Amino acid sequence: MPNDFLITRPLKNCTTCWSRKEISAVELTQATLADIKEREGAVDSFITVSEEEALAKGCALDTKGIDADNLMSGIPLAVKDNISTKGMLTTAASKNTLQLQADFRCYQRREALR
């Protein structure tokens, strides 16, 4: 499937396609990462993109299967850089917080949404 098809669909459609095995979580993640790479030069919206982690999570979800009760299951998620997330650099786009890495509960909440 072309990237445009995957990234312009409502979440429910992506989840439905994934549950029917028409797409995989890895394919959706790859499409999202490709879209970020394509647009990032113009919009400069991401400070950190965790490609390897995202693809590993997609692979794990494909192996485990979809959580039918969770609309966000398998959907790539971006977290704003002013929210502390365990193990990820949090800068809030400020040089004052450039080295902050959180041991924070937001990570657990993010994981719970998957």
Extended beta strands in the chain, E state: none
Per-residue model confidence as pLDDT tens digits over 34-86: 988 988 889 888 888 889 999 999 999 889 887 777 767 778 888 887 777 77
Match 């917080």 to its residue by tokens.
97
Paired with 59 in beta bridges are: none
Backbone angles phi, psi at 86, to 5 degrees: -50, 130
Q: Tell me the pLDDT band of 106, cut-offs 50, 70 and 90.
A: low
Per-residue model confidence as pLDDT tens digits over 1-27: 445 656 677 777 777 777 788 888 898
CA distance 6 to 64: 21
